[in-house]
Structure 1
Amino acid sequence: MIDPIALQFGPIEIRWYALMIISGLLLAVYLSAKEAPRKKIRSDDVYDFILYAFPLAIIGARIYYVIFSWYQYKNGSFMNMIAIWNGGIAIYGGLIAGFLFLIFFTRHRFIETWDFLDIAAPSVMIAQSIGRWGNFFNQEAYGGKVGNLDFLPGFIRDQMYIDGAYRQPTFLYESVWNLIGFALILLLRRKPKLLKQGEITLFYIVWYGLGRFFIEGMRTDSLFLAGLRVSQWLSLVLVITGFVLFLFRRKKQDLAYYQS
């Protein structure tokens, strides 16, 4: 088992979980800031956005996790509820909080919301791909029992041996899925007159929703609601919404192409 603590300076612990999230964030900010001028958005706007959005997203991710894992916290202390350094944040909660703030931010800065979303979507996807490895180090967000994981490198296989059995490395499946989605977006957005304004964002929504729907079905630690896990229901909403918006916006003749 890999020690979840990467570095320790006296009483101060720096966990791999935090390092993975911060690494993903820094790469996402760099890529978004580099792409922003293409849509006539200042790099400083990207930096200003992330300064506020990141802590809000962490808070949203934790609130979402606690709400849908209330049985773990209802008899505990308030400090236990906010102890994110021990793991336990839900990406959907972070996305919801970040999206709500983005709407406020773009309107306040007089930036076209869809343009900002289009430069952010691929960066968010690669950040999620990296961030999922935090679950690996914490041995959380894994799937059901499997006979063996011989197709995986030894360090992953050993880390997925939990409570006397090998577990589905769902963190890895989602990480790879997001990495493929990121690569596809980079390829598609280079094609002239292929993707219209907002369609990179909608591709992200549909791609991520599809992946999460199937991967969540393998997990054993999320809440059920009417036969499906809560995150699966939300994934279905994302996929359907993304397809409907794509069809609606594709018919509009006045939308600019991302790459003209």
Structure 2
Amino acid sequence: MMQYPQIDPVAITIGPLQVHWYGLMYVVGFVAAWWLGRRRAHRLGLSHDDIGDLLFYAALGVVVGGRLGYVLFYGMERFLADPLWLFNVWEGGMSFHGGLAGVLIAALLFARRQRLAFFRLTDFIAPLVPIGLGAGRLGNFINHELPGRVSELPWAMPFPHMGPEPRHPSALYEFALEGVVLFAVLWWLSRSPRRTGLISGLFLLLYGVFRLAVEFVRLPDAHIGFIAFGWVTMGMLLTLPMIIAGLVLIGWSRRQAVGEKRSRVLGSGGRA
């Protein structure tokens, strides 16, 4: 059994101002996406300024969509009792699925503005995302969030305020899978031009499989519990459509062309 590291969730205190590690993890994710995006901006004919604009759109999508998704899927009762709780982002409480929806809406708006094909843009974005996902899971771990089920594995650990039983460090599992492994696979595969939609489909499929696997050792939210059959969680329910969509998109990509830079689609007013 391992001991849970004693890390203060507040990273910096300046007078009344407190900067939480959870918030800093979002900064890490956005900075990493900005830096990596600039390295590959030429692939879509984008400038470094365009990457900054894309990051702004995506950041709004992540924060607004992630928070609204959490409220909708996991915290509606608390929101109805205290509507201002919606703005307490530093406490945690962000939904990946809501954030994903927000980013997709942001990508659609950016693609229309830049006259880019939507799935060419999402293929560009997908490899930039996992570092932020991994950083966010580290933030969850520091915040004592996402406790796992009781386990006797040697790396299990007691979670603060949850008794002496050792538990799966499920946030660290997600950090390794959704952050490290997903980034390595997508960044490596996207080094060379691929068929449109393939990288986006792989992102949905792999994230879905990784998240689904961890859900079997992660405790459901206490105020929701299991949704059905004594083992189905809300995370599973929200992740299964991602796996299906990923498979469909990978199948669709097999009929698409391989391309590097964007080019005008004659007569359509768009760019492939």
TM-score band (shorter)?
0.7 to 0.9
1:56 aligns with 2:61: yes
Q: Is the 8 A contact 1:161 1:167 kept in 2?
A: no
Change in Cα spacing, 1:122 to 1:26, as seen in structure 2 (3 Å) is: same
- Matched to 2:235, the amino acid is S
The more displaced of 205-214 and 179-188 is 179-188
**Runs of 4 or more above 6 Å deviation:** none
Q: Give the corresponding residue for 2:265.
A: none
TM-score computed with the length of structure 2 as normaliser: 0.83
Find 2:234's aligned residue among 221, 230, 238: 230
Q: Deviations over 1:7-43 (max 9, x none)?
A: 1001000011111111111111110121121232222
Q: Give the corresponding residue for 2:45.
A: 40
- Matched to 2:168, the amino acid is Q
| Secondary structure of the structure 2 residue equivalent to 1:8 | strand
Q: Is the 8 A contact 2:155 2:168 kept in 1?
A: no
Q: Give the corresponding residue for 1:20.
A: 25
CA distance in 1, matches of 2:79, 2:197: 41
Structure 2: state its 5+ residue gaps.
1-5, 262-272
| Secondary structure of the structure 2 residue equivalent to 1:14 | strand
The more displaced of 19-28 and 162-171 is 162-171
Q: Is the 8 A contact 2:61 2:105 kept in 1?
A: no
More helix by share: 1
Q: CA deviation at 1:73?
A: 0.1
- Matched to 1:67, the amino acid is L
| Secondary structure of the structure 2 residue equivalent to 1:145 | coil
Q: CA deviation at 1:198?
A: 1.9
Q: Deviations over 1:98-122 (max 9, x none)?
A: 1012112211221222222122111
CA distance in 1, matches of 2:82, 2:249: 43
Change in Cα spacing, 1:61 to 1:220, as seen in structure 2 (3 Å) is: same
CA distance in 2, matches of 1:113, 1:68: 27
CA distance in 2, matches of 1:181, 1:26: 18
CA distance in 2, matches of 1:162, 1:220: 14
Q: Deviations over 1:119-138 (max 9, x none)?
A: 21111012111221000110
Q: What is the alpha-carbon root mean square deviation over aligned residues?
A: 2.2
Quote the sequence identity (%). Answer: 29
